């Protein structure tokens, strides 16, 4: 499949490659997000060597795999009879026989956490070889991994590589504008947006869509069939990403419908509110499954911070797939999606639309013309009042507060939305010297009355988001 998007990320990689000195570039992000594909596309037509770790294998198996990967990439009679027994031997061979001085070479160590068997010895060795050999040989060393907690704690924040990493890239999903390119104009915008609300911008998930089938046909095939590509996806991700997958699943399940504080999660999970639940939440947030928010106007009050499940597919999984696993495994029906979701899917899509807009708040700010002055974007909730909420609110450096109303509807947005937003604005506590702007972000067009009222400073529809 043709590689699409990622222009900004490719630009960062090209910038690092063009640097006159050797550089270490760290790439990390959850599985399926397209890290390996990005690096493969970037390295085309350049002198490069790729090595990938084996999931959950121990060091001898990793070395054996590294050895055979190297044999496929270079022709050296010495390799046919000299397997590596230690990482020292393997890296020494690379230094003496592969990395040529004064000729920029890309060396990619993919799935580094597996290659290192989740330990730090290999990272320390890389530091030694970097300091003593590689930085003089015009090397672009790319360290890539899918377990964000390892890549952040053991690589980026490691004492061994402190001050040596030139760039770090946390690869996330495709933007709405990039994701729409994968549909090649073969589906309607409304249908494309349904896919984005369910699968997000994960390239691997979007690649599974058959563009010659309808949304319902694809979701039945991918999610509601025992052999569907997405049927077991949740378990595959969590069991490979986390050492205690059941605990992480429990936390995500608790956050599927509500924003919860650390104290509330600690009570519900029976984990301590100190290092216990905090560690799980940090790992989930680094992996991109959840996000934390502070109350508007109280950015440093840790006790008031709340967490929200933001991964699109995981939200869908907990709502419709996990509770119906037995039915999906046993029923011969090819229309389980329609039968199981019934009339509830439209309501779920409304919440999914809110999550999607919140997740892509920076992108939407750019569309509305104030991306360069955005300070923070968050859902509004009072410190004590949990009933009064605003879907999305922006605080801007130009002393403006932008209040957003998010509406998911198949019908045009009627004038009642004006009274709803006005009521919220009256209840909102605005800092002194700030101006309030109002924005409507909707799946359908506003009615002529709403447009003519000029009540909203900004109006965005699906056509604007995925144009």
List, for residues 94-147, the tens digit of each pLDDT value: 999 888 877 899 999 999 999 999 899 999 999 999 999 999 999 999 999 999
What is the CATH code for 7-170? 3.40.50.300
Model confidence at 383: pLDDT above 60: no
pLDDT bucket at 443, cuts 50 / 70 / 90: very high
pLDDT bucket at 448, cuts 50 / 70 / 90: very high
pTM score above 0.85: yes
Model confidence at 273: pLDDT above 70: no
HEC string of the chain equals CCCCCCHHHHHHHHHHHHCCCCEEEEEECCCCCCHHHHHHHHHCCCCEEEEECCCCCCHHHHHHHHHHHHHHHCCCHHHHHCCCCCHHHHHHHHHHHHCCCCCCEEEEEECHHHHCCCCCHHHHHHHHHHHHCHHHCCEEEEEEECCHHHHHHHHHCCCCCCCCEEEEEECCCCCHHHHHHHHCCCCCHHHHHHHHHHHCCCHHHHHCCCCCCCHHHHHHHHHCCCCCCCCCHHHHHHHHHCCCHHHHHHHHHHCCCCCEEHHHHHHHHCCCCCHHHHHHHHHHHHCCCEEEECCCCCCCCHHHCEEEECCHHHHHHHHHHHHHHHHHHHCCCCCHHHHHHHHHHHHHHHHHHHHHHHHCHHHHHHHHCCHHHEEEEEEEECCCCCCCEEEEEEEECCCEEEEEEEECCCCCECCHHHHHHHHHHHHCCCCCCCEEEEEEEECCCECHHHHHHCCCCEEECHHHHCC
Per-residue confidence (pLDDT) for residue 295, from 0 to 100? 80
List, for residues 206-249, the tens digit of each pLDDT value: 999 999 999 999 999 999 999 999 999 999 989 888 888 999 99
Per-residue confidence (pLDDT) for residue 388, from 0 to 100? 67
Model confidence at 382: pLDDT above 80: no
- The CATH number, out of the four listed (1.20.1250.20, 1.10.150.20, 1.10.10.10, 1.10.760.10), of the domain defined by the range 178-351: 1.10.10.10
Mean pLDDT calculated for residue range 53-78: 92
Mention the CATH class of domain 360-465. Answer: alpha beta
Domain segments of the chain: what residues? Answer: 7-170, 178-351, 360-465
Per-residue confidence (pLDDT) for residue 331, from 0 to 100? 95
List, for residues 386-435, the tens digit of each pLDDT value: 566 888 999 999 999 999 999 999 899 999 999 999 999 988 888 889 99
Mean pLDDT calculated for residue range 461-467: 91
pLDDT bucket at 257, cuts 50 / 70 / 90: confident
Per-residue confidence (pLDDT) for residue 370, from 0 to 100? 98
Mean pLDDT calculated for residue range 23-30: 96
Whole-number mean pLDDT of the chain? 92
Per-residue confidence (pLDDT) for residue 75, from 0 to 100? 86
């Amino acid at each position: 499949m043709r590689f699409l998007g990622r222009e900004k990320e490719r630009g960062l990689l090209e910038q690092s490659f063009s640097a006159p000195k050797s550089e270490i570039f760290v790439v990390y992000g959850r599985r399926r997000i397209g890290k390996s594909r990005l690096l493969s596309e970037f390295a085309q037509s350049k002198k490069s060597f790729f090595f990938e770790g084996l999931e959950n294998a121990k060091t001898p198996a990793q070395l054996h795999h590294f050895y055979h990967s190297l044999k496929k990439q270079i022709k050296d009679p010495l390799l046919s009879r000299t397997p590596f027994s230690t990482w020292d031997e393997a890296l020494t061979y690379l230094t003496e026989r592969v990395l040529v001085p004064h000729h920029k070479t890309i060396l990619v160590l993919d799935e580094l956490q597996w290659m290192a068997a989740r330990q730090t010895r290999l990272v320390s060795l890389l530091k030694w070889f970097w300091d003593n050999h590689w930085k003089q040989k015009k090397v672009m060393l790319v360290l890539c991994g899918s377990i964000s907690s390892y890549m952040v704690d053991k690589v980026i924040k490691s004492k061994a590589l402190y001050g040596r990493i030139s760039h770090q890239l946390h690869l996330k999903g495709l933007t709405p504008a990039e994701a729409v390119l994968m549909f090649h104009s073969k589906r309607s915008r409304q249908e494309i947006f349904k896919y984005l609300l369910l699968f997000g911008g994960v390239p691997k998930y979007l690649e599974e869509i058959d563009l010659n089938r309808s949304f319902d046909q694809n979701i039945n095939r991918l999610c509601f069939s025992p052999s569907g590509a997405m049927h077991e996806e949740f378990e595959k991700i969590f069991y490979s990403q986390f050492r205690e997958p059941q605990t992480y699943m429990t936390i995500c399940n608790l956050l599927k419908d509500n924003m919860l504080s650390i104290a509330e999660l600690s009570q519900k999970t029976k984990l301590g509110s100190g290092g216990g639940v905090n560690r799980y939440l940090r790992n989930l947030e680094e992996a991109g499954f959840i996000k934390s928010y502070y109350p508007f106007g109280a950015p440093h009050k840790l006790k008031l911070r709340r967490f929200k499940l933001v991964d699109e597919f995981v939200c869908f999984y907990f709502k419709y797939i996990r509770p119906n696993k037995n039915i999906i495994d046993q029923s011969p029906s090819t229309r389980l999606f329609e039968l199981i979701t019934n009339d509830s899917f439209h309501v779920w899509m409304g919440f999914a639309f809110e999550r999607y807009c919140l997740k892509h708040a920076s992108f939407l700010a750019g569309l509305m013309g104030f991306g360069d002055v955005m300070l923070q974007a968050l859902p509004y909730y009072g410190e004590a009042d949990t009933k009064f909420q605003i879907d999305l609110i922006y605080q801007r450096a130009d002393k403006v507060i932008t209040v957003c109303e998010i509406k998911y509807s198949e019908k045009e947005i009627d004038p009642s939305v004006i009274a709803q937003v006005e009521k919220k604005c009256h209840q909102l506590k605005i800092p002194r010297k700030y101006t309030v702007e109002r924005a409507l972000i909707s799946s359908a067009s506003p009615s002529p009355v709403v447009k003519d009222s000029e009540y909203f400073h900004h109006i965005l529809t699906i056509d604007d988001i995925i144009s």
